[in-house]
Structure 1
Amino acid sequence: MKKLYQWSNWKTWLVSLIIFAAFLGFILPNEAAESSRVTGTSESPDSSFFYTPETLFSIAETYGEEGRAYYVRARYTFDIVWPIAYFLFLITTLGILFKSIQRSRWRYVILLPLSGLVFDYLENLSTSLVMSCYPEQLNVIAAIAPVFTAVKWSCIYASFALIPIGIVTYLITRKKSLRSQ
């Protein structure tokens, strides 16, 4: 955890911001458009907060063979890199903002983006298995995939929600530091 804080600096943050913005502005819209074109729908388990195994099987059916193959390919190409992009942005942002209070319990907030990344990969693995084996129904995997998705989104949303708190904390700590000089 200490390494994550040491790694969080303004230079790393700026690079991560540029990468994150490029994904949001160019790569994600293009990927979403291509996915909709190939699968015939904009529905995806990745974009839902929670879904049922039945919904996952229904999406697999809707995608068709070509759409399922595309979905699996995207999980092991695009969706390997995208989580790294948002992870780097969140980890450096929270690292900079909470660096000054590392001795409190708040120091653990830097682990939220890492948890989001891990659960994103677990989601990708499980949904890809369901898609690649369909029409065979992998009921256990289809049952845990929505849990991975919900935990992923909870960690990501919490990470973004912590940014305003971190900004206030950073400004207060900085003000106190300037007063004591």
Structure 2
Amino acid sequence: MKKLYQWSNWKTWLVSLIIFAAFLGFILPNEAAESSRVTGTSESPDSSFFYTPETLFSIAEIYGEEGRAYYVRARYTFDIIWPIAYFLFLTTTLGILFKPIQRSKWRYAILFPLSGLVFDYLENLSTSLVMSFYPERLDIFATVAPVFTAVKWTSIYASFALIPIGIIVFFINRKKS
């Protein structure tokens, strides 16, 4: 955790902001359009907060063989890099904002983006296994995938929710200095 705070500086933040903005502005919209084209739907387990195993199997059916293959490829290409992009942005942002009080319990705020990253990868692994083996039903992976997804989104939303709190903390500590 100490390394994350040491690594969080304005230069790293600016680079992460540019990467994050490029993903939001260009890469994500293009990826979503291509995914919809290949799978025939905009529905995806990654974009839901929570879904059931049956919903995941239904999506696998709707995607068809080509759509499932595309989904799996995307999880091991694009979706390896996207979590790193948002992780870097959120970690450096929270690191800069909470650095002045990193000795308090708030120091753990910087771990929320890491949790999002880890659970995003667990989600990708489990959903891609379900897609790869469909129509065989891998019930254990279909059952844990929605949990991984919910924890991922909770961690990411919490990270973004901490930013306004961090801004207040940052400016209060600047006035004290």
TM over 0.5: yes
TM superposition shift of 1:110: 0.3
2:171 alignment partner AA = L
Residue 138 of structure 1 aligns with an amino acid whose one-letter code is: L
Query: Distance in 1 between the 2:32 and 2:41 partners?
Result: 10
RMSD of aligned residue pairs (Cα, Å): 0.2
1:83 — aligned with what? Answer: 83
Please report how far the alpha carbon of residue 133 of structure 1 lies from its aligned counterpart in structure 2 after TM superposition.
0.2
Other structure's SS at 1:136 match: coil
Unpaired stretches in structure 2, ≥5 consecutive residues: none
Structure 1 residue ranges, 4+ long, deviating more than 6 angstroms after superposition: none
Pairs within 5 Å for 1:107-146: 107-146=107-146
**Residues 140-166 of structure 1: CA distance to partner in whole angstroms, max 9, x if unpaired?**
110000000000000000000000000
Partner of residue 170, structure 1: 170
For these two proteins, the number of residue pairs brought into alignment is 177
Within 5 A, what are the aligned runs for 1:141-152? 141-152=141-152
Give the letter for the 2:66 counterpart: E
SS for the counterpart of 1:46 is helix
Q: Partner of 2:104 in structure 1?
A: 104
1:50 paired residue number = 50
Q: What residue in structure 1 maps to residue 94 of structure 2?
A: 94
1:30 alignment partner in structure 2: 30
Q: Give the match's secondary structure for 2:135.
A: coil
Counterparts of 1:37 and 1:110 in 2: how far apart (Å)? 37
Deviation sequence 1:42-96 (CA, Å, 0-9, x none):
0000000000000000000000000000000000000000000000000000000
Which residue number corresponds to residue 8 of structure 2? 8
Q: Distance in 2 between matches of 1:87 and 1:105?
A: 21
Query: Once the two structures are aligned, what percentage of the paired residues are identical?
Result: 88
How far does residue 134 in structure 1 lie from its aligned partner after superposition?
0.1
Aligned to 1:137, the other structure's residue is in SS state coil
Segments of structure 1 that go 5 or more residues without pairing to the other structure are none
Q: Is 1:155 aligned with 2:155?
A: yes
Inter-partner Cα distance in structure 1 for 2:137 and 2:59: 12
- State the distance in 2 between where 1:163 and 1:102 align: 15
What is the one-letter code of the residue matched to 2:28?
Answer: L
Q: CA deviation at 1:12?
A: 0.2
CA drift of 1:5 comes to 0.2
What SS class does the counterpart of residue 51 from structure 1 fall into?
A: coil
What is the Cα deviation at residue 26 of structure 1?
A: 0.2
CA deviation after TM superposition for structure 1 residue 175, in Å: 0.4
Name the SS for the 2:131 alignment partner. Answer: helix
